[in-house]
Structure 1
C-alpha cells in the first residue's frame, strides 16, 4: 500500500522540479532584459552628459564670440606708390625702366588727372582702451599712407599710427572715438597647452570671423620677426589663422586677450593647423610704452646669454641643465654692476622660471629702464639671489657688444643723430662704421670709418647680427659676400671673404 504513495511523491517531486526549471527558464530573459535595460540607461545618461558638455562648450564659444565682436576691428591700408616714386632722388628715378614713369607719373603733367596706383592691404586689430587705442601687427600697417579702421557697427574711421615696434611686430593705432568696448587682458603665462582659444579677425576680408582651437604649444621661437632679430615667444594654436587675421585677438573662454595673431606655418599660404600669436605678456609692455612715450623703451642688461644645452653643460661644467647661461658681461653695465659673472646660469627672473636664453632676453626687454629685476642664479652649483637695476636699451648700448668682434670694427645701426654726425642727411637704415682696426674682416674688405653698409647679399641690413648672418650664409655657399657701401656721396660695391 505504500508504493502508490511513493509513486505519487515521485510524480509530485518531478512536477515541482519541472515547474521550478520552467520558472528559472522564464526568468532568464527577464534578467537579461533587466541588465540590457540598465546598460541602455547608462549609455543614455553618458550620452546626455556628453551632450550637455558639448552644449556647454558651444555656449561658451557663442558667448565669447558675442562679447568680443565690439572689440574687434578690420583694418585696411593704402600706399600711394606714385608718391613714393616721386620721393626717390633724381638720379635713382632716372634709372627706372622705360615706361615706368608713364605709369606712375612724372609729377610734371598739366591738365588731366594723373594715375594714382594704390597698394592695398588688409588685417585685423583689437580695441584695448575705451578712448580709441587699438593693437595690431606692425606688418599690417608698415609703409601705409592711409590706415582705415572699420568697427563692428560698420563705421569706418581713419586711424593714426601712434607707434610701431618691428622688433615684436606690433603697432598701436588711435581713432577718434571714446565710447568703445576694450578687451580685458588675460594671462598668457598661465594659459596651458590643451586650453581652448578662439581666433577672431578678418581672414580674406571676411569680417568678424571666429575659429576655435587649442593652445598646441608655447614659447615658440621661429626667427621670423624683424629679419630673425626680433623678440619672439609665440603661442602656437591650431585655431585657423589665415591672411587677414594678422593683428586680431586670440582669446580664452573667459573672453580675455591672451595673444595677437601674427603668422602661420604653411606651404600653401593658408591655415595648415599651425598658427602663432604674440603673447600678451610680451605685447602689453610694448603697448603701454608706445602710449606713454610714443616709442618702445626697453630694459638693458649688458650681458651676452646662451641656451643651456647638453653640449654647453659639458663644455662649461655646469651644475644645472636648464636656464640661461651668462657668457659675457659688459663693464660698467647693469649685469656687471649686479656682480653677475660669466658662467652664471639664470634660473628665475622675478619668480618666473627661465628655460631658455630667449625667455631671459624677452623678459628683460619687456621691463622699463630703471626697474629692478630679482634673479635667482646658479654659480658653480650654489643658488644665489641678485638684484639687477636695468638701464635703457639703445643702439649705442647694443653696439658695445660689437667691440672686439671678428669684424675688427665698431658698427652702429643708423640713427638720426649718428647720420648727422657723419654728414648724412637722408639715411634711414644701415650700419655706420665708427672705427676700424688694422686687423679684421672690415679692414680686409677696405671699409673705413664713416662708411655706411646699406645691403649685404642684396638685402638691407639694420644690425650686426644680420650682417654676420649674411656672411655665414655666404661662407656656407662658398661665395664672397657682396655689400653695398655708401661713402660720402658715393655708393660702392665691396666684397667680404
Structure 2
C-alpha cells in the first residue's frame, strides 16, 4: 500500500503542476502566451535530445562492457615457500633460524604436504592474442611462483610468465588455450583529454568490474616505475581504479585497448579519482619484443637530453621553445654517427612532435635496435632532417652515461655556449669540468670546476666515454694516466693514478 501511495502522490503532484502551468499561461497576454508556449517546446526538444544523448552513452558503455568481458581476466599469484626454502644454497639454509627448515620437511626429507603455498597477490589482465597471450603489470606477478588466470567463464588456468619488463612495469603471460577473444588495440596518442573511457578489472577481487570516466590528463611522469628509473608516459583518468585493477584494460568507447591500468594517486589507498594507465603506444612494443625475443630489446641513441624550458632557452640561446635539447653525445654511438651535436634541439621523430625529453627517450626505447629514425632537428635556428640508425640499449651502453661518476666529477663536451659560460673564447674541443665532488679521482688530481680536459695519454678527448676508456686502459696496464688540463690561460699536466 505504501508503494502504491507514493506512486499516486507523484502522479497527483505532476497533475497539480500541469494545472498550475496552464493557469499561469491562461492569465498571460496572448503574445506572452505564445512566447511561453514556444519556449516550452524548445526546452522540451532540448530535454529530449539530452535524454537521447544520455541513453546513447549508456548504450555505448553497456556494449563495450559486454564486448570486453571475454577479453578481461583475473590474476592471482602465490609464493611457494617450501620450494623456495629447498632452492636456497646450503650455506644460506644453514643460516635459517632453528626449526625453520624442518617445518617444511617431513620425516623422509621431503617437503611437508601441509606447507601450502601462501597467497601473495591479485590483479587483472587482458587477452591480447587468441592463442593465450595476456598483458598485465609486472608488479602483479613479480616474485610469484604460481600464477593463475581466471577467465570470464570462471575457468582457472595456470599461466607461464613469458617475460617481464620492470622498466615499464609490464609482464606477458601465456595460458594453454586457443580461440580466445583478443582485445583490439587503439591509438593512445590520438585519445584526447575529455574523451570517455572504461576501466575493467577485479578491484578487491570483484571480477569483471566496470567503471567509467574520462581522460583527465596525458603524458604524466610520476617517478614511480622501477624506483623512478623506468619509462613513464601515463594516461590519467578519473575512472575508478582500486587495488586489484592493476594490469586490467583501459578502453575507449569503440572497445579498443588504449592503456593498462597501473597505479592510483591516493592518501587512503582507495580511488580518489586520479588513476594512471600505461598507454598502449608504450606497452605494445614491449609486448611484441617479449613474445618474439623472450625479453625487451630497445633502441639506443647515445645522447644526453633535457627538456626545453624558458630557463634553458635563455641559458643556451635557443631559437625554439619546445623539443628535447641534446646536452651531450657519446662518441661512436648513433647520435654522434648521425652528426648530431650538443646544443641541437630535436623537434620531431618519425613525424611525431617531441614535446619533452622523456617522450623522446620513450620513443627511442620503443624502437627495435637497428631501426632508422627520421628526426627534425633545429641547430642555431636552422631546421634540418637527420636519419639516426639506432643501436641496442644495453647495460654496457647505459654505463657510458655514468662514466663521469668514476671520476667524482661531472664532465660535458665543449660547446660554444658552455665555453662562454666558463670564460673561454677559443675552445672547440675537450671536456669541461662542471662539478667536482669532495672524493674521487678528479679531486685527488686537483681538478677544479671550469677546467677543460683537452687530452689524455697524448690523445685529444671529446667524450666522457673516450676518457673513461683511456683511464681503464691505464689501470689495466698499471700505469698513471697523464691528462692535459686547461685552466684559464694556463695548460697543466695532471697525473691520474
On whether the aligned pair clears a TM of 0.5, the verdict is yes
Aligned to 2:83: 83
CA distance in 2 between counterparts of 1:322 and 1:105 reads 64
Given that 1:240 and 1:275 are in contact with CA atoms closer than 8 Å, whether structure 2 keeps it comes out as yes
Q: 1:213-252: per-residue Cα shift (whole Å, max 9, x none)? A: 0000000011111111110000000000001101100000
- Change over 3 Å in CA distance of 1:212–1:308 after alignment to 2: same
CA distance in 1 between counterparts of 2:440 and 2:81 reads 42
Kindly report which structure 2 residues correspond to 1:8-407, keeping only aligned pairs within 5 A, or say none: 29-97=29-97, 100-101=100-101, 113-405=113-405
- Change over 3 Å in CA distance of 1:96–1:442 after alignment to 2: farther
Given that 2:185 and 2:256 are in contact with CA atoms closer than 8 Å, whether structure 1 keeps it comes out as yes
Given that 1:350 and 1:375 are in contact with CA atoms closer than 8 Å, whether structure 2 keeps it comes out as yes
SS at match of 1:327: strand
CA RMSD of aligned residues (A): 2.3
In structure 2, list runs of 5 or more residues that go unmatched. 1-25, 410-438, 445-497
Measured after TM superposition, the shift of residue 265 of structure 1 is 0.5
- Change over 3 Å in CA distance of 1:388–1:111 after alignment to 2: closer
SS at match of 1:405: helix
Measured after TM superposition, the shift of residue 305 of structure 1 is 0.8
Q: TM-score under structure 1 normalisation?
A: 0.75
- Change over 3 Å in CA distance of 1:110–1:215 after alignment to 2: closer
Measured after TM superposition, the shift of residue 299 of structure 1 is 0.4
CA distance in 1 between counterparts of 2:372 and 2:344 reads 19
- Change over 3 Å in CA distance of 1:392–1:28 after alignment to 2: closer
Measured after TM superposition, the shift of residue 31 of structure 1 is 3.0
- Change over 3 Å in CA distance of 1:267–1:363 after alignment to 2: same
- Change over 3 Å in CA distance of 1:303–1:184 after alignment to 2: same
- Change over 3 Å in CA distance of 1:307–1:27 after alignment to 2: closer
Measured after TM superposition, the shift of residue 398 of structure 1 is 1.0
Q: Based on CA coordinates, which of the two structures has the bigger radius of gyration?
A: 1
Measured after TM superposition, the shift of residue 85 of structure 1 is 3.1
CA distance in 1 between counterparts of 2:111 and 2:188 reads 58
Measured after TM superposition, the shift of residue 161 of structure 1 is 0.9
SS at match of 2:241: coil
Measured after TM superposition, the shift of residue 100 of structure 1 is 4.4
- Change over 3 Å in CA distance of 1:323–1:120 after alignment to 2: same
Given that 2:258 and 2:280 are in contact with CA atoms closer than 8 Å, whether structure 1 keeps it comes out as yes
- Change over 3 Å in CA distance of 1:105–1:322 after alignment to 2: farther
Aligned to 2:490: none
SS at match of 1:348: strand
Measured after TM superposition, the shift of residue 309 of structure 1 is 1.7
Given that 2:105 and 2:111 are in contact with CA atoms closer than 8 Å, whether structure 1 keeps it comes out as no
CA distance in 2 between counterparts of 1:278 and 1:225 reads 11
Q: 1:140-179: per-residue Cα shift (whole Å, max 9, x none)? A: 1111111111111111111111111111011111111111
- Change over 3 Å in CA distance of 1:220–1:89 after alignment to 2: same
Given that 1:104 and 1:117 are in contact with CA atoms closer than 8 Å, whether structure 2 keeps it comes out as no
Measured after TM superposition, the shift of residue 196 of structure 1 is 0.4
Given that 1:81 and 1:119 are in contact with CA atoms closer than 8 Å, whether structure 2 keeps it comes out as no
Measured after TM superposition, the shift of residue 28 of structure 1 is 5.5
Given that 1:188 and 1:279 are in contact with CA atoms closer than 8 Å, whether structure 2 keeps it comes out as yes
SS at match of 1:59: helix
Q: 1:283-309: per-residue Cα shift (whole Å, max 9, x none)? A: 000111111111111001011111112
CA distance in 2 between counterparts of 1:51 and 1:102 reads 68
Q: 1:2-43: per-residue Cα shift (whole Å, max 9, x none)? A: xxxxxxxxxxxxxxxxxxxxxxxx996333332222222111
CA distance in 2 between counterparts of 1:45 and 1:314 reads 56
Given that 1:86 and 1:107 are in contact with CA atoms closer than 8 Å, whether structure 2 keeps it comes out as no
- Change over 3 Å in CA distance of 1:31–1:159 after alignment to 2: same
Q: TM-score under structure 2 normalisation?
A: 0.75
- Change over 3 Å in CA distance of 1:106–1:264 after alignment to 2: farther
Given that 1:86 and 1:106 are in contact with CA atoms closer than 8 Å, whether structure 2 keeps it comes out as no
CA distance in 2 between counterparts of 1:365 and 1:28 reads 72
Q: 1:317-354: per-residue Cα shift (whole Å, max 9, x none)? A: 11112111111111111000000001111111001011
CA distance in 1 between counterparts of 2:199 and 2:46 reads 31
